[in-house]
Amino acid sequence: EPEVTQTPSHQVTQMGQEVILRCVPISNHLYFYWYRQILGQKVEFLVSFYNNEISEKSEIFDDQFSVERPDGSNFTLKIRSTKLEDSAMYFCASDVGRTGGFQPQHFGDGTRLSIL
Amino acid sequence: AQSVTQLDSQVPVFEEAPVELRCNYSSSVSVYLFWYVQYPNQGLQLLLKYLSGSTLVKGINGFEAEFNKSQTSFHLRKPSVHISDTAEYFCAVTRTSGGSYIPTFGRGTSLIVHP
């Protein structure tokens, strides 16, 4: 069964540095998402992406964050000038959208981001 | 606005015992409700969903949940758990957003099955 893959599994970065988290969604999926889970807290929606543009973003997704689909397969989350509070597990997800009825989002295994 | 409350952060249970993981939600619009499971070092996997119709929904791995509109609950149950059910379970209420769905998750309940 096709999977959403995320790299790296663990990223350690110095505070103030930029970090790029990478995701390869399932090939026939149209919608792509990033979520964040701070240790011990709930999974939070960051952003959804469709047709090469942001479809919706949450209050968390401020100017520090950006997403990009640089080619036909990768979907990236860039965090500029990282802060200690950006330390979290970041999940990528993808789905085909609502056309034809409900289809679940498929999640990757996550990237654990540790800011020092 | 939507929100989900999972009343128990951790539920320990012995193998082959029944279990119920509680979930209450609030939403100002029609809801779609979900339970996801997260095994260690893995992403979230859909366990079951309620979109409409029968209030008792069955999912994978022998789990089921009942939608109770009057009590705004969507509790997850399994009559007999296995060691392999040890995982984090997330309840979610989902809204539509353009051509997709956006879930709002609860804080999660850690199910710990002891031999």
Q: Who contacts B24 (Cβ-Cβ below 8 Å, separation ≥6)?
A: B4, B5, B7, B71, B72, B73, B74
Q: Is the pLDDT of residue A1 over 80?
A: no
> How many Å lie between the alpha carbon of A95 and the closest alpha carbon of chain B?
8
- Residue located via tokens 């679940």: A104
Contact A55 B98 (CB under 8 A): yes
In angstroms, the CA B24 to CA B72 distance is: 6
Two tokens, residue B23:
């979930």
Give every CB contact of residue B35 below 8 A, 6+ residues apart in sequence: B21, B23, B46, B47, B48, B49, B59, B63, B65, B74, B76, B89, B90, B91, B92
Contact criterion met (CB below 8 Å) for B76 and B66 = no
Contacts of B103 in chain A (CB under 8 A): 45, 105
Is A91 within 8 Å of B98 when comparing Cβ atoms?
Answer: no
pLDDT in tens, B28-85: 776 789 999 999 888 889 999 998 888 999 999 999 999 999 999 999 999 999 999 9
- Model confidence at B98, pLDDT cuts 50, 70, 90, reads confident
pLDDT at A70: 86
Query: Chain A: nearest CA to B28, how far in angstroms?
Result: 19
User: Position of tokens 């990757």?
Assistant: A108
A33, two tokens: 């998402």
Let me know if B29 is exposed, middle or buried by CB neighbors in 10 A (0-12, 13-18, 19+): exposed
pLDDT tens digits, residue range A45-92? 999 999 999 999 999 999 999 999 988 789 999 999 999 999 999 999
Half-sphere exposure of A28 toward its Cβ, with a 13 Å CA cutoff?
Answer: 3
Give the pLDDT mean for A31-43.
Answer: 92
d(CA B10, CA B35): 16
List residues of B whose CB lies inside 8 A of any A CB: 32, 34, 41-46, 49, 51, 90, 96-108
Which residues are CB-neighbours of A18 under 8 A, at least 6 positions away? Answer: A78, A79, A80, A81, A82
Q: Do A97 and B46 touch (CB under 8 A)?
A: no
Neighbours of A7 (CB within 10 A): 12
pLDDT exceeds 80 at position A25? yes
Contact B93, B25 (CB under 8 A): yes
Q: How far apart are CA B38 and CA A92, in angstroms?
A: 14
- Measured in angstroms, the CA of A108 and the nearest CA of chain B are apart by 5
What tokens appear for B108 in the block?
């999660």
Per the prediction, chain B carries an average pLDDT of 91
